[in-house]
Structure formats: structure tokens, C-alpha cells
Amino acid sequence: MARFSSINRTAVMLLVAVLGSTALTACTTTSSSDRESRLSQRAQLDQDVQQTLDRLYRSVPDARSLAQQSEGVLVFPGVLGASFIVGASHGDGSLLMDGAKAGYYTTTSGSIGFQAGAQSQAIVYLLMTEKALNRVRSDNGWSVGASAGVAVADIGANGQITNATADKEVIAFVMNNQGIQGGVSLNGAKISKVSP
């Protein structure tokens, strides 16, 4: 009888080991697939970020020198918004510091009022001070307009940035298919870091 229980115990342990390794393999396969999908999405986002910056610099040449002076550049290449009375928008983006990727971020916002339709726009934030950069990088995220002086870039008739926006903590550019948009409010947008 002792020999039979020893065999049963060995069989049960072997069965548990096989089932455990099978479950672990299944989790690893799913994880690997998810990771590949995420890497593919991020590679596409990186391309979109660069294309958005190239488009901005072609439209507003002064933006390049301001970006070089900034502490960081936060780029959301495709912020999609939809509304019917209540509106919401969401987009994924990337923070660049000294031209190198420093993290991924999301932006979300909501609004209430008479509105209808859908639109896509690109938003670029130039974080001109270390204080503004630290707000964006904080674990709690950043509510645009709540703490930093954000100015949507005012572009003069000559295509240059006016002095009214050049001295703010954060300078924002909003672009749609037609080009740079003016008179846009970004207040209330919530920007949050995406975990790696």
C-alpha cells in the first residue's frame, strides 16, 4: 500500500508539472503575441510622430528652433474626436527629449455643448521649461491648463510665431488636414504616461 501511494504521489506531481508547464507556455505565447502587437503599434506611432514633426517644421519653420530650445517635445499625431452634444477625444503620442524617445503618452478630453461631428488633429506641445517637463512626466499625469501656462501658437501672416506665444512655459501647435489651427482651446485635456 505504501508503494501504491508513492506511485500515486509521483504521478500526481508529474501531472501537475506537465499541466503547469503547459499553462506557462500558453501564457508566454499570449504574452509574446501581445508584445509583438504592441511593438508594431509603437513602431507605427514612432513613424507618425516623426512625420508630424516634419509637417510642423515645414509649415512653421520657427517651430524647429523652439523645439531645439525646449526641454521636451510631446507629439500626438492623431487625436481623434467625436461628438454629438457630448464630445470626447483620445490620442496616443510620444515624448521626445533631445530628439530621442523618452516615453509614450495618451491624451483624453471631453466637452459638453452643442456640437456634432468627428475630426482628427495632430497636437505638438513644446515644453519650454523643466517645470513643464516634470509636470508631464509625473505619475499623476498632467491636466492641460490647470498648472502650466499653455499657449496655442499664434502664427502671424508671415508664417512666423508671434511674441505673444514665444515666452510661455508650453507652446502648443494644433494641425488638421488644412494646416495649423488657431484659436483652439486645449484646456482640460488629460495627458498620462503609458507604462512600458
pLDDT band at 114 (very low <50, low <70, confident <90, very high): low
Amino acid identity, residue 142?
W
Angstrom distance (rounded) from CA 176 to CA 5: 74
88-102 pLDDT per residue, tens: 888 999 999 998 999
Share of the chain above pLDDT 70, in %: 71
CB-facing half-sphere around the CA of 89: CA atoms within 13 A:
25
Residue 146 has a pLDDT of: 63
Mean pLDDT, residues 72-91:
84
Report the chain's mean pLDDT, rounded to a whole number. Answer: 77
Angstrom distance (rounded) from CA 179 to CA 187: 21
Residue 89 has a pLDDT of: 84
As given in the structure block, the three cell numbers for residue 68 are 531645439
Mean pLDDT, residues 39-53:
91
pLDDT band at 7 (very low <50, low <70, confident <90, very high): very low
Report helix angle 2-59 to 62-69, nearest 10: 130
Mean pLDDT, residues 192-196:
83
Residue 49 has a pLDDT of: 95
More confident residue, 9 or 59: 59
Q: Which of 152, 84, 76 is nearest to 120 (CA)?
A: 76
Angstrom distance (rounded) from CA 155 to CA 179: 11
Residue 27 has a pLDDT of: 47
pLDDT band at 148 (very low <50, low <70, confident <90, very high): low
Mean pLDDT, residues 139-154:
73
